[in-house]
C-alpha cells in the first residue's frame, strides 16, 4: 500500500470516518503493513491533531467522539493481530467512573472514548462507583490510571474518600488518579491529593499521557 493511501487512514481518523478507517486498516494489514506504523505514524498523529483543533475551538465534542470512534474501530482490528503474533499487549489500563452518589456520565463517557482513541484499554465502571469498586478494578486489571468524575458539589467529597481508600489499601502510589467534572477545580484536586485535573476531556487525555510518560522522548 502506498504512503498516500496510508495517509487516508490519518484523514479518516481526523475527519471522524469510522467506516473508512476500518476499511483502510483492513487493506493495510492485508498488504502486510506493520501495525505499529499504522498506529504511531497515522492514527495517533491524527488524534493529536484532533486534540489540538479542540483546544483551538475548531473541533467540538461531536467531532471528538467521531474521531475516537474511528480510531477505536481501527484498533479493534490491530490489537488482536499483535497478540496473535506473540507480542504482549502493552496497552495501559485506565479505570473510569463517576463517584458514589452521582449518576451523571456524559463527561466520563467522553473521556473514556478519547482515552480509547489514545490507545488506552478503558474499563468503565459506570456511575455511583464506590471506592471499593475502583480498588478492585485496579487490582484486577493492573491499571495505572484512575479517572473519577462528579457533577454535583454534594458528591465531590467521594473523590477524596476514594483517594484515601487507595492510601489505606497501600496502592495509592501505584496509580495516577485524575479528577474532573463541572464543579471540580485545580485547587480542589490538589487539596484532596489527586495527581491532576483538567476542565475538558481532551486536555485530560494529554495530562494522563504526560503523567504516565507516554510518548515522551
Tell me what pLDDT residue 85 has. Answer: 57
Closest alpha carbon to 189 in 153, 151, 156, 152:
156
Q: Looking at domain 93-212, which CATH architecture does it have?
A: 3-Layer(aba) Sandwich (3.40)
Residue 75 pLDDT = 84
Length of the chain (residues): 217
Question: Model's pTM, two decimal places?
Answer: 0.73
Bridge partner residues of 146 (DSSP): 95, 177
pLDDT value for 148: 98
Q: Which CATH class is domain 3-84?
A: mainly alpha
Residue 6: its pLDDT value, please?
92
What pLDDT, on a 0 to 100 scale, did the predictor assign at position 217? 47
**pLDDT at residue 189 in the model:** 98
Taking only the tens place, the pLDDT of each residue in 150-168 is 999 999 999 999 999 999 9
What pLDDT, on a 0 to 100 scale, did the predictor assign at position 144? 97
- Domain spans, the chain: 3-84, 93-212
Q: What is the pLDDT of residues 3-33, one digit of tens each?
A: 678 999 999 999 999 999 999 999 999 999 9
CA distance 81 to 87: 9
pLDDT of residue 65: 85
44-72 burial string, b = 16+ CB within 10 Å, else e?
Answer: bebbbebbebbeeeebebebbbbbbbbbb
pLDDT for residue 117: 75
Rounded (10°) angle between helices 18-30 and 61-84? 20
Per-residue pLDDT, 86: 52
CA angle 198/199/202 to nearest 5° reads 75
Low-confidence ranges of the chain (pLDDT < 50): 87-88, 217
Amino acid at each position: 500500500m502506498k504512503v498516500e493511501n496510508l495517509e487516508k487512514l490519518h484523514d479518516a481518523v481526523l475527519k471522524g470516518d469510522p467506516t473508512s478507517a476500518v476499511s483502510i486498516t483492513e487493506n493495510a494489514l492485508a498488504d502486510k503493513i506493520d501495525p505499529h506504523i499504522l498506529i504511531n505514524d497515522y492514527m495517533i498523529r491524527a488524534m493529536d491533531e484532533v486534540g489540538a483543533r479542540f483546544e483551538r475551538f475548531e473541533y467540538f465534542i461531536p467531532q471528538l467522539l467521531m474521531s475516537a470512534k474511528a480510531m477505536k474501530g481501527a484498533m479493534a482490528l490491530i490489537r488482536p493481530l499483535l497478540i496473535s503474533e506473540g507480542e504482549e499487549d502493552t496497552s495501559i489500563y485506565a479505570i473510569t467512573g463517576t463517584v458514589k452518589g452521582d449518576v451523571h456520565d456524559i463527561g466520563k463517557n467522553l473521556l473514556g472514548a478519547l482515552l480509547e482513541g489514545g490507545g488506552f484499554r478503558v474499563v468503565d465502571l459506570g456511575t455511583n462507583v464506590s471506592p471499593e469498586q475502583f480498588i478492585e478494578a485496579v487490582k484486577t486489571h493492573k491499571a495505572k490510571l484512575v479517572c473519577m468524575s462528579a457533577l454535583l458539589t454534594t458528591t465531590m467529597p467521594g473523590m477524596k474518600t476514594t483517594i484515601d481508600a487507595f492510601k489505606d489499601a497501600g496502592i495509592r502510589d501505584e496509580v495516577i488518579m485524575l479528577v474532573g467534572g463541572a464543579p471540580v477545580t485545580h485547587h480542589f484536586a490538589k487539596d484532596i491529593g489527586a495527581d491532576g485535573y483538567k476542565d475538558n476531556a481532551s486536555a485530560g487525555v494529554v495530562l494522563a499521557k504526560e503523567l504516565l510518560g507516554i510518548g515522551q522522548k
